[in-house]
Amino acid sequence: MFFRPHSPSDGFNVAALALDDLEVVGRGVSMKTAPILVAAGRSHGLAAIPVGAVGRFRELVERIGVCVGLSSVFVDFADTRIATVEAADVLATAELSDQLWNEFEGSTLSVPTRSPP
């Protein structure tokens, strides 16, 4: 599994960042050999981050000066879509308040995105 030693049940966050910063963040993550998946979304760069690697990711993006919005923690990959929306909203808030790092606060009610078993 790509995210080893982390497992999905440990929890994940999604980070949103500007598409212009995607390449430099991707390079930084690969140099740290962190278990973080960085890719382009429709309107933002996105990173899937195991909860245990959030601190390392934050150090990286703050060192290079990239603005990031972080979603709440999720444990089911079916919730990735709502987490990306959260992260994008948090990024917008961070950009408006000139913060490099901003985390989601509160709770989000999501409708299950998959069929029942």
Give the model's pLDDT for residue 117: 47
pLDDT confidence tier of residue 75, bands split at 50, 70 and 90? confident
State the Cα–Cα distance between residues 35 and 4, nearest whole angstrom: 7
114, pLDDT greater than 80: no
C-alpha triplet 6, 68, 74: angle, nearest 5°: 40
Dump pLDDT digits (tens) for 7-59. 667 888 999 999 999 999 999 888 776 788 899 988 999 999 998 889 999 99
pTM (global) more than 0.85: no
Q: 28: number of CA atoms within 13 Å, CB side?
A: 17
Domains and CATH numbers, the chain: 8-103 (3.30.70.980)
Tokens found for residue 99: 């913060």
Under 8 Å between Cβ of 75 and 109: no
